[in-house]
Every structure is written in structure tokens, then in C-alpha cells.
């Protein structure tokens, strides 16, 4: 079988398609440019960092992104609203349900059916979204520990994440990319016994989080590596548009679940943890991880309350149809909309323009939190050591699927 | 809320800077001219009754060749007052596609403006680092424009993939190898 070789190798292909900012001839003799990625374990995906070094001191970082660009926005212009959901899953593939939730809410708002969604559907959405939030934070903390040289917490967290993935597989049929939340409803009701399993899982996880705290967060080596590293002041964070756990670690109680109060979050009781500077300064890498761990505790609280509501007030009935108000035809009236929701990584926003004539969006833009959060890397890493660059990059918690879209 | 903004703009810069205002849209929207964008943006940022300190999202839109316009849309959020605002700038498609950059006020505009430049070809004046961000640096054209057509080849690789043709040739090859093996 003869296969044609399509790719014409040329030596300057890489330098033409992603040229370095710092050219070889223009450097001073003590300066050095090293290239991290695109294939490097500590970049958490296909991210290329061009690092200008002087000795071991980082003088500048130039991120090169776009290696995973899949033209989400172009695709979305040629698909009906309900068929975009699987593509939305693949933006932040570690927290697919959270992204679906934001997207579905946006389209419902455009259609004006937000008030008609049954309460049971809303509680199920919040329940699965919080489960997915925990799973996403587990990956963030686990891989961060691995970057810092602690391998055990990663295994523990992947073990516990596996429980969540199996639960979500039971609900939706898929392990990571669910297509579970539909515009106007859900793919299916939760299976019989799911609430019981959630209660068991919460009881199982609580002592494990204590273990995690003592083995990772209070670990002397971990504290030494992360405290006082990559300190992000609050005003700078806001100016850079940083959201999510990163902004909260800098000391601002900013959570869209509270501020916008979307879905049923106003009816639930939970706190917003912020960075306190316990081990160093407010807004350092240690704080960012502490905030994520505290958020897992809060998510567990929300899950408990949702299970309570789903077994009592909004019980499973034979008549309940999660697809009851799923619209047959999605044709919003013309106009511009910006909707946003709190994802594990920060504010996920969708900008829609509907022309009122077709089932497809005229324009659909995804404002990914990872993309905006990553833009601060050079500011944080400048003047630090190269080992701190890895610590800072890990603590931003990016998913390249969302950075490149 | 928009009345308040209009009043503040009137008192501090000049009246009729806002071409159009729509309170009912979500979030409330104002349309401004590109010449006034920088002045209005810095007022939105600095004025103590407005204080839009978060620039959430910058979106470019191409309205197609018929309507002959492109737009840049900014979504602001004020953290202390908890309210949002959408600001639109409408550009002529055939004219000079240039908008003043807001990097001086909000650092987050850096990457987001680069993205708009990359996908729409709208330039941002005084931007410190106007390079492509998602597409390769030597890519031709701006993909999110409505009249964009894929190039046939990029560095010898097929950009447009004809799936049917590809699968047919694959099937033929499989059939050929099968028939050869049965012959021998």
C-alpha cells in the first residue's frame, strides 16, 4: 500500500510558523533562550514557552499558543444551537458539564425560557456540575503536586476522581465528554440510586481531603516550593481579567455563583473561600491551591444539599420528563447576548449574536478563563527562578483545549 | 443605568458621543464611534460612579459583505457596583480597519485584541505586540471573516480534506491488496 507523504519537511518550517520573539543574534552574551514545550510534561498540554534566561533568572516569558486550535467559533457558525453542545464539551474537557451548563443557560436566556426550567432539572444540573468541579480541581491539584515532585497525592486524587467519572458515566454514558445538559432540560433523569451513591461518596471523600491536606498542603517541601512564589496582587489580577480560584486567592470574594446568582445557587448555602496568606503572602501559589481545596469542601456542601432536595422536595416521579420543555426548534430573536458562569477555572463567557432568521448563531464566541488567565504568566514569572516558572504555570491551572479553542 | 452613563459622559467630555443606546438588551449596550472609544473607555474605568474595572471579553464580528460593516464589542463588568455594560464600535468593512488599543487601561486587552486581529484582521492602534496568536504566523487570511476561503495547501499539507475521495481511495487500496493476497 503506497501512501503519499504530504508533509514537505523544511528546516525553517517551525521558525516561520511560530517565530521566536528573541532572535539568536540579538541576545547579549550572558542571555540564553530556552524553549519549553510544546511537548513538555510541565506545560500540561501543547503550550510552548520561550524563556529568556540570565543564569537561572527568568527575564521574560513569551507563550506561543494555538497548537490545539480547532476552530470552535468557525464551526459554531455552521451548526444549530443544540448541536454545538458536544463541541462546548471539548473546550474545557476536564469540566465539560460546567461548560455545558453555561452554554445551555445562555441559549435558554436568549429564548426566554429560563423561568420554565423545572426545579428538579436545575438541581440535577447543579449536582453534576459540582461533581465535575471537584474532578477538575482534583486534576489541578494532583498534577500540580506532581510538578512539585510529590507523586503520591496525584495517585490518590486520580483514584478519587475515578469515582466521580464512574458516577457521571452512570448518569450520561460517557466518562469525560458528556453532552448531558441540553438546551431546556437534560438528556435523561439521574439513574435510580444515584442520590444514595452521592451521599456515600461525600462520606467517603471527607476523610480523604484531610489526608490530602496533611500529605500535600502542609508538607514542608511543598510549602517551601510554593509559598511566596508568584505573588499576584489583587489590583493586577483584576486588570488582567483574572477570574476563578486565581482571583479569589488574591483575596477578592468574587464568585459568579453568588454575584450573578444563576440557576438554583441562591437557594443553596455555601461560602466563597479566599486566599489568606497563611504560609506566605496573599495570592501566592500556595494560596491558589489552598483555595481549590477549600472549594472542594464547599462543593461537597452543595452536593449534600442538592441530594437532600432531590430526595424530598423535588422527588423523582413517574411523570417527570427532563426533556419536557426542550425546544423542537431553537430560533432566538435577533440580538446580542453575553452570558457567563463560574467554571472551575474562572469566568466562562459566551457571546452570541442571533439574526432571528436561522437556527444557527451568526457569531458565537467563547471567552475561556484559561486563555485570559494564561496571559499573566510573563508578569508573574519575570525576575524569578526557572524552577518557579514551573510552579507558577501549574498554579494557573490551564486546559489547553480552552486556551486554543 | 444608561441614562446615568450618558449624563456623566455629557458633563465630563461632550454630548452626543453615544450614537445609540439600548437598555433592554442583556447586558445594556451603547454604540460609540471609534474616535471616541479611548476617551470613553478611560472614563468608564476611572469615574468613581462607573468604575468598570473588569474587561471581560472582546469580540470581533464580521457582518458580511452585504452590510459592509465589522464590529468590535467590549463587555465590561464593574466589581464594586456589580453591573455589566456592552460597548460596540462599528467599522466600515472597506475602510481602514483600525481601533485604538485599550492595553494601556486594561492589560487583559493584550491577548484578546491579538485574537481579534488574528481572526478578523482588525488592527489595534498602539498595541505593544500585534502578532497572530492562534493561527500560525505565516497563515494567509483571517478565518472568521464571512468571505474567508480556506487555502488549498499549507506547507504542502492539504487544508481542505475531501473525506469521500479519501475514503474511496482507501477502500480501493484495501480491495487491491485483498485481491492480490487471494491471487497469490
Tens-digit pLDDT profile for residues A301-354 = 999 999 998 888 888 888 888 888 888 888 888 888 899 999 999 999 999 998
pLDDT of residue A138: 93
Do A338 and B57 lie within an 8 Å CB cutoff?
yes
Which residue of chain B comes nearest to A110, CA vs CA? Answer: B26
C-alpha span between A88 and A102 (Å, rounded): 10
Residue A327 CB partners (closer than 8 Å, separation 6+): A111, A113, A183, A184
Domains of chain B: 2-146 (3.30.460.80), 150-184 (no CATH)
Task: Give residue B82's region: left, alpha or beta (phi > 0; psi -120 to 50).
Answer: left
> What residues 321-340 of chain A have any CB closer than 8 A to a CB of chain B?
335-340
What residues form DSSP beta bridges with A64? A48
Interface confidence (ipTM) of the complex? 0.85
The string of pLDDT tens digits covering residues A240-269 is 989 999 999 998 989 898 888 888 899 899
Q: Is A74 on the interface with B (CB under 8 A)?
A: yes
Q: Quick one: pLDDT band at residue B81, thresholds 50, 70, 90? A: confident
pTM higher than 0.90 for the full model? Answer: no
The string of pLDDT tens digits covering residues B53-73 is 899 899 999 888 788 888 899
A149 touches A157 (CB < 8 A):
no
Mean pLDDT of the A17-21 span: 83
pLDDT of residue A204: 93
DSSP A5-70: ------TTHHHHHS--SS-GGGS-TTEEEEEE-SEEGGGTEE-EEEEEEETTEEEEEEEE--TT--
A43 touches A31 (CB < 8 A):
no
What residues form DSSP beta bridges with A58? A53
Peptide bond into A317 cis (omega under 30): no
Cα A311 to chain centroid, rounded: 29
Burial class (CB in 10 A: 0-12, 13-18, 19+), A157: buried
What residues form DSSP beta bridges with B90? B71
Domains of chain A: 13-64 (no CATH), 73-404 (1.10.645.10)
Q: Is A240 on the interface with B (CB under 8 A)?
A: yes
B54 contacts in chain A (CB < 8 Å)? 238, 241
Using a CB cutoff of 8 Å and minimum separation of 24, what contacts does A208-211 make? A208/A156, A208/A160, A209/A293, A209/A296, A209/A297, A211/A156
Do A65 and B133 lie within an 8 Å CB cutoff?
yes
Residue A17 CB partners (closer than 8 Å, separation 6+): B136, B137, B138, B139, B155
List the single best residue of B72, B106, B111 to mutate versus A (max A Cβ within 10 A).
Answer: B111
Amino acid at each position: 500500500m503506497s501512501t503519499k507523504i504530504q508533509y514537505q519537511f523544511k528546516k525553517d518550517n517551525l521558525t516561520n510558523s511560530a517565530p521566536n520573539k528573541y532572535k539568536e543574534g540579538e541576545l547579549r552574551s550572558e542571555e540564553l533562550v530556552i524553549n519549553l514545550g510544546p511537548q513538555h510534561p510541565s506545560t500540561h498540554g501543547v503550550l510552548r514557552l520561550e524563556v529568556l534566561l540570565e543564569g537561572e533568572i527568568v527575564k521574560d516569558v513569551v507563550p506561543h499558543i494555538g497548537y490545539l486550535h480547532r476552530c470552535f467559533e468557525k464551526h459554531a457558525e455552521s451548526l444549530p444551537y443544540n448541536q454545538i453542545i458536544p463541541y462546548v464539551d471539548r473546550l474545557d474537557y476536564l469540566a465539560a458539564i460546567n461548560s455545558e451548563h453555561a452554554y445551555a443557560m445562555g441559549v435558554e436566556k436568549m429564548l426566554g425560557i429560563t423561568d420554565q426550567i423545572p426545579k428538579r432539572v436545575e438541581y440535577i444540573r447543579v449536582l453534576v456540575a459540582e461533581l465535575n468541579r471537584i474532578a477538575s480541581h482534583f486534576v489541578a491539584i494532583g498534577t500540580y503536586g506532581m510538578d512539585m515532585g510529590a507523586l503520591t497525592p496525584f495517585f490518590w486524587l486520580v483514584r478519587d476522581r475515578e469515582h466521580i467519572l464512574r458516577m457521571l458515566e452512570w448518569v450520561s454514558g460517557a466518562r469525560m465528554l458528556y453532552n448531558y445538559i441540553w438546551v431546556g432540560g437534560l438528556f435523561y433523569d439521574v439513574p435510580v440510586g444515584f442520590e444514595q451513591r452521592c451521599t456515600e461518596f461525600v462520606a467517603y471523600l471527607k476523610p480523604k481531603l484531610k489526608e490530602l491536606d496533611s500529605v500535600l498542603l502542609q508538607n514542608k517541601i511543598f510549602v517551601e516550593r510554593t509559598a511566596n512564589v508568584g505573588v499576584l496582587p489583587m489590583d493586577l489580577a483584576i486588570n488582567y481579567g483574572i477570574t476563578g480560584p486565581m482571583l479569589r486567592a488574591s483575596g477578592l470574594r468574587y464568585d459568579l455563583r453568588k454575584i450573578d446568582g444563576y440557576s438554583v445557587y441562591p437557594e443553596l448555602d455555601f461560602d466563597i473561600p479566599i486566599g489568606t496568606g497563611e504560609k506566605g503572602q496573599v495570592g501566592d501559589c500556595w494560596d491558589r491551591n489552598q483555595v481549590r481545596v477549600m472549594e472542594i469542601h464547599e462543593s461537597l456542601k452543595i452536593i449534600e444539599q442538592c441530594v437532600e432536595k432531590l430526595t424530598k422536595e423535588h422527588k423523582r416521579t413517574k411523570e417527570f420528563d427532563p426533556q419536557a420543555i426542550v425546544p423542537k426548534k431553537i430560533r432566538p430573536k435577533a440580538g446580542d447576548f453575553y452570558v457567563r458562569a463560574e467554571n472551575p477555572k474562572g469566568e466562562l463567557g459566551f457571546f452570541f449574536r442571533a439574526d432571528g432568521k436561522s437556527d444557527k448563531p451568526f457569531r458565537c464566541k467563547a471567552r475561556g478563563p484559561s486563555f485570559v488567565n494564561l496571559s499573566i504568566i510573563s508578569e508573574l514569572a519575570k525576575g524569578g527562578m526557572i524552577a518557579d516558572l514551573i510552579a507558577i504555570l501549574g498554579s494557573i491551572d490551564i486546559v489547553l483545549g480552552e486556551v486554543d479553542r | 443605568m444608561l441614562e446615568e452613563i450618558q449624563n456623566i459622559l455629557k458633563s465630563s467630555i461632550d454630548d452626543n458621543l453615544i450614537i445609540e443606546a439600548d437598555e433592554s438588551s442583556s447586558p445594556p449596550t451603547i454604540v460609540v464611534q471609534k474616535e471616541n472609544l479611548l476617551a470613553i473607555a478611560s472614563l468608564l474605568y476611572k469615574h468613581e460612579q462607573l468604575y468598570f474595572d473588569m474587561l471581560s471579553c472582546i469580540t470581533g464580528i464580521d457582518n458580511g459583505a452585504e452590510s459592509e460593516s465589522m464590529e468590535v464589542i467590549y463587555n465590561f463588568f464593574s466589581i464594586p457596583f456589580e453591573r455589566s455594560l456592552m460597548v460596540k464600535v462599528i467599522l466600515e468593512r472597506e475602510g481602514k480597519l483600525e481601533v485604538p488599543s485599550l492595553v494601556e487601561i486594561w492589560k487583559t486587552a493584550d491577548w484578546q485584541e491579538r485574537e481579534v486581529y488574528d481572526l478578523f484582521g482588525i488592527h489595534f492602534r498602539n498595541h505593544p505586540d500585534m502578532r497572530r496568536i492562534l493561527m500560525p504566523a505565516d497563515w494567509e487570511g483571517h478565518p472568521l471573516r464571512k468571505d474567508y476561503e480556506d487555502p488549498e495547501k499549507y506547507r504542502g499539507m492539504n487544508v481542505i480534506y475531501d473525506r469521500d475521495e479519501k475514503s474511496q481511495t482507501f477502500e480501493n487500496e484495501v480491495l487491491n491488496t485483498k485481491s492480490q493476497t487471494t491471487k497469490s
